[in-house]
Amino acid sequence: MKQKETSWNTRETKGKTPQEIHEAGEEHTSSSMNTPLRPDAFELSDATKMEMIEDHFRQIMLILGLDLTDDSLKGTPHRVAKMFVKEIFSGLNPANMPATKLFENKYKYGEMLIEKNITLYSYCEHHFVPIIGKAHVAYISSGHVIGLSKINRLVQFFAKRPQVQERLTVQIAEALKEALHTDDVAVIIDAEHLCVASRGVKDTASSTLTAHYSGKFKDPSKKEEFLRLLQV
């Protein structure tokens, strides 16, 4: 086990001091639209991952000085491990990608379709604390449509990862383009980051806005229409 854990050190952090790693995280840099995963990310089963996380989280709690014999705390390592693998980070596994069945656009509806105020819960990859907000998504049919709930499920799938908001916005947009066979997609995310609100600067009044426009939504008039309709 020890040898396996050592091999999981990343090139980005190996040889760097804790201060250098911290400063890189504070800059909120992201090198790719793809979530940074190791090639062996899915070699372990979910059950094995939960067992390992449970053991490591138990050690964290012990280091913090918590009494794990207390009735309220003794089940926490298992609960956290299950939550990490099966819930809040389940979007890391491509096997959990929601199916997006297409339907013919029999209504011949050619205007933008907007799904707004999609509830979004994600986790900041720099501090592993929540990102809470709303996603607003629009597309113009190229001849096919998808069920409205599938848009919500796609948003939630990519949110269920350690994330930065910029990457999350692009991932949702690119997945919709691929699913719908169209570039005419727009995505806006408005979210609060608890790494800002609950620690560091402790600013509880600010939120972060990110946007992605492609295809017809790059046209200023379409972009303006989309933004106007979000206010309705």
- Please list the active-site residues: 124-127, 165, 193, 195
Q: Which uninterrupted H or E stretch holds 77?
A: helix 76-82
User: What's the rounded Cα separation, in Å, for the pair 74 and 200?
Assistant: 30
Pick the closest to residue 95 from 41, 147, 27, 49 (CA basis): 41
User: What's the rounded Cα separation, in Å, for the pair 51 and 40?
Assistant: 18
Cα 180–chain centre separation: 21
User: What's the rounded Cα separation, in Å, for the pair 136 and 226?
Assistant: 10
Pick the closest to residue 97 from 140, 31, 153 (CA basis): 153
The two structure tokens encoding residue 99: 């199916």
Secondary structure class of 137 (helix, strand, coil): strand
